[in-house]
Amino acid sequence: MVSYNIVTDECQRVLNLVQEELFAIRTDYQHVEDDIEVLRSNVCGGTERIDQTSNQNDLDEALTAYYEEVDTFFEDLRQDLGTVYLAMQDVLNYFVSGDAEMKHRSNSPGVEFPYELATSGEGDPAPAYDTREMWEGNPGTMSFGDGNSTNFDVAQYNHTAAKAAHHG
Amino acid sequence: MASVDTVNNLGYRGDGTTDEMYSGSAPMVPNLPNSSFALAAAARINDNLGKTFDRFMAAVDAWNQLRDYYEGPDQEAVYAAFNQRIEKISAIRLAGESLYNAYAINDATLDSDIKGRRDDYIGWAPGHVSASAQYEPYLGKWCRNQYGTADHLWGEMGTPDEDKMRVLEAINALREDRIIKKDEINTLVFDICTHRRTLAQSLKDVDMQELSRIRFETRNEATTTVASQEDVEEMLREAGAFDSLDLRDEEIERIAAEIWANREDYTFGQFTDEQGRDWVMTPEGTMVRAGSAMDPRFNAAAMKAIAEDPVVGQREIDYPGMDNGDRITVAALVYGLNKGNSKFKEWGLKQFKGDDANILGMKVNTGLIGAGITILSIGASADEYKTGQSMLYPMMSDGDLEDRHQHALLVEGAKAGGSVVLGGGLLFVAAAAGAPTGGVGGFIVAAVVDKITGAVVGWIVDTVSDGQTSATQDEINDMSDKELANQ
């Protein structure tokens, strides 16, 4: 009995949209550092009295601390969402390739594959799969938990997705 | 402009004078940081972090489309995978606002507190130097107590007996002036340093983890939701943005029916609290109830329904606070057909891109994000702020809009650095050095001062986003519907 549905080409279209946004984020963000440097060059007046200089370093250090905090936070968030995106792309690929169904039939002979895969008929967008290097160095783990499928590790997606399909 | 590394301390004496730039007759004029130039850079950072936030939210919105195409045992976890991170996403916007606000306050305080005093000094110094010239170098040494007695001074100067008292009085008057001005200048330098220290502390106070504790707006306009077509009709009647459309009853009924028919677009949330209420993030980075007058999707549905109405869509809309003459039909506004209109362009419709215009509502909202940000963050006037809020949340009622406008007027007054008599012997003045700025709870924009004693008796914060009109996620989870309504 079929319990679940996946419209594969639409899922891919959505993932491509997500990927475009995650890429474009860098464009807007990259200007921030330049303007932090502008702020740094305006910490004090052109020539200040010696008794004005005591807390110039305070402001300089505060700017550095601010930027480091925001930049680390931004990069972690982007990597985090990138990991989620890649995990979902892996799941989709696993179904589209037929691996999920094959694995299911191998593990559960006689039990109907619980997913119905469909397309919208509006064309098949190419997966944006060659962008993995965007988050290289921070593969992380992603949990798409239903109580049965646990930690989703990018490197082990076959195993985890198969488990999800099996328990579904 | 100069960085810390490039500051060149010329040969200053301990008393702040220098032979290299002045005769030494008057204290050195302190240079000021170029705070307005820095403010412009801070504004750009705020703008770019705002755009970064928009991109993240666009990714979230795109991700949410998976609801329609992915159904599996893990689908809830899949949908939540992005949405559970919106707290962090909103922190990106707030970090930009925090930086801008800190620099805006610094610029305002330098403008209101420092520049005038410095200009007064600059106006005084040349006359003093000129008057002193005939007595130098003796006056300088007299100021530094190098003569000890008047006889010694007169002797050094070769002053005739008949002129001694006149010369002594003149020199003492000049010395007195110089002492007073030197104290003033030293205080001025101290205050410049204090303002810079306040700015540094405001930046150090920016805590991304703290900013990630997303704020849930608890004002009426953010929590009252529509549950029927009649509710939508009521909201349309009250909406400040639509006053100029002169909606008739049958038109309201027709448009409300269309909005209500599309309720699936705005009745689900990006976050569901423990009481089962759905919340959605505004372009300003705060959470409001799904289907409230501040829900961007609800507003988008309303604007689309009005634009597509064959009669009302062709009427011109004139947003509250906007100058006469900046009128545009709703259809043209929504579909970006009048991009050349300077006023609307100014407010962000320039961000329409070709065919994207038909994604109207969200596009209108994302295009106008800059207009809706808190008044401090955008540097807008109170009227511009009112217009921006009205464009951002067209379903907001006249009364709620006016409340925000009144607040913006107070902030505007404080930013101008002027003192406003509040009554009861209290003054409303620009934020003083040492004000506890920073933090997600809102920013200090002014101090309330006792007119008689001069004591600071309270702080005015930007209450559009402060703790009095918003709550944390934990507080929202614990709050019953009744408690929420009474906020």
The DSSP result for B254-271, as a single string, is HHHHHHHHTGGGTSS-SE
Residue B111: is its pLDDT beyond 70?
yes
Span B300-313, average pLDDT? 89
CB contact under 8 A, A55 and B201: no
Query: CB-based contacts of B178: which residues, under 8 Å, 6+ apart?
Result: B25, B26, B27, B128, B143
Residue B390: is its pLDDT beyond 60?
yes
The distance of Cα A31 from the centroid of its chain, to the nearest Å, equals 22
pLDDT tier for residue B107 given thresholds of 50, 70 and 90: confident
What Rg, from alpha-carbon coordinates, does chain B have? 30
Q: List the alpha helices (DSSP H) in B205-248.
A: 208-211, 220-223, 229-238
pLDDT tier for residue A159 given thresholds of 50, 70 and 90: very low
pLDDT tier for residue B312 given thresholds of 50, 70 and 90: very high
What token pair was written down for A137? 């160095």
Half-sphere exposure of A57 (CA within 13 A, CB side): 3
Long-range contacts of B311-314 (CB under 8 A, 24+ apart): B311/B251, B312/B245, B312/B247, B312/B251, B312/B255
Residue B42's SS3 state is helix
Convert the pLDDT of each residue in B230-263 to its tens digit: 999 999 999 988 988 999 999 999 999 999 999 9
Q: pLDDT at position B147, please?
A: 87
Q: pLDDT at position B254, please?
A: 96
pLDDT tier for residue A164 given thresholds of 50, 70 and 90: very low
DSSP B395-442: TSBHHHHHHHHHHHHHHHHHHTT--EEEETTEEEEEPPTT----STT-
Q: Check if the beta carbon of residue B45 is closer than 8 Å to that of residue B99.
A: yes
Q: Which of B45, B70, B73 sits opposite A11 (nearest CB)?
A: B70
Q: pLDDT at position B246, please?
A: 92
Nearest chain A residue to B54 by CA distance is A25
Minimum distance, in Å, between the CA of residue A42 and any CA atom of chain B: 5
Q: Check if the beta carbon of residue B298 is closer than 8 Å to that of residue B226.
A: yes
Span A118-141, average pLDDT? 58
Q: Which of B38, B62, B74 sits opposite A21 (nearest CB)?
A: B62
In chain B, which residues have their Cβ closer than 8 Å to the Cβ of A32? 45, 48-49, 52
Nearest chain A residue to B70 by CA distance is A6
pLDDT tier for residue B94 given thresholds of 50, 70 and 90: confident
Span B311-336, average pLDDT? 74
Of B291, B284, B283, which Cα lies nearest the Cα of B266? Answer: B291
How many angstroms separate the CA atoms of B179 and B143, rounded?
Answer: 9
pLDDT tier for residue B404 given thresholds of 50, 70 and 90: confident
The distance of Cα B373 from the centroid of its chain, to the nearest Å, equals 8
Q: Which of A48, A62, A73 sits opposite B30 (nearest CB)?
A: A48
CB contact under 8 A, A168 and B72: yes
In chain B, which residues have their Cβ closer than 8 Å to the Cβ of A88? 66, 78, 81
CB contact under 8 A, A4 and B28: no
Q: Check if the beta carbon of residue A104 is closer than 8 Å to that of residue A112.
A: no
CA distances from B348 to A36, B239, B299, B344, B364 (A): 25, 22, 17, 6, 8
Please classify residue B180 by burial: count the beta carbons closer than 10 Å to its beta carbon, then call 0-12 exposed, 13-18 middle and 19+ buried. exposed
Interface test with A, best of B34, B35, B55 (most A CBs within 10 A): B55
In chain B, which residues have their Cβ closer than 8 Å to the Cβ of A22? 55, 59
What token pair was written down for A72? 């680390």
Span A78-90, average pLDDT? 88
CB contact under 8 A, A10 and B10: no
Span B384-396, average pLDDT? 80
How many angstroms separate the CA atoms of B63 and B467, rounded?
Answer: 31
Span B23-47, average pLDDT? 79
CB contact under 8 A, A21 and B58: yes
Q: Which of B109-113, B330-334, B412-416, B481-485 has the highest mean pLDDT?
A: B481-485
More confident residue, A45 or B19: A45
Interface test with A, best of B46, B69, B114 (most A CBs within 10 A): B69
Q: Which of B32, B206, B208 sits opposite A45 (nearest CB)?
A: B32
Residue B426: is its pLDDT beyond 50?
no
Q: Which of B10-19, B151-160, B227-236, B433-442 has the highest mean pLDDT?
A: B227-236
pLDDT tier for residue A24 given thresholds of 50, 70 and 90: confident
The distance of Cα A88 from the centroid of its chain, to the nearest Å, equals 9
In chain B, which residues have their Cβ closer than 8 Å to the Cβ of A31? 44, 48
Lowest-confidence pick of A61-65, B354-358, B449-453: B354-358
More confident residue, B342 or B228: B228
Phi-psi region of B260 (alpha: psi -120 to 50; beta: other; left: phi over 0): alpha
How many angstroms separate the CA atoms of A3 and A168, rounded?
Answer: 8
Nearest chain A residue to B193 by CA distance is A52
Q: pLDDT at position B235, please?
A: 96
In chain A, which residues have their Cβ closer than 8 Å to the Cβ of B33? 42-45
In chain B, which residues have their Cβ closer than 8 Å to the Cβ of A163? none
Q: Which of A74-83, A127-136, B368-377 has the highest mean pLDDT?
A: A74-83
CB contact under 8 A, B196 and A56: yes
CB contact under 8 A, A62 and B201: yes
- End-to-end Cα distance, chain A: 11
In chain B, which residues have their Cβ closer than 8 Å to the Cβ of A74? 52, 92
Span B60-85, average pLDDT? 81
How many angstroms separate the CA atoms of B55 and A20, rounded?
Answer: 9
Taking all residues of chain B, what is their mean pLDDT, rounded to a whole number? 73
Q: pLDDT at position A149, please?
A: 31
Nearest chain A residue to B80 by CA distance is A144
- The b/e string for B32-64 (b: 16+ C-beta within 10 A; e otherwise) is bbbbeebbbbbbbbbbbbbbbbbbbbbbbbbbe
Lowest-confidence pick of A101-115, B65-79, B408-422: B408-422
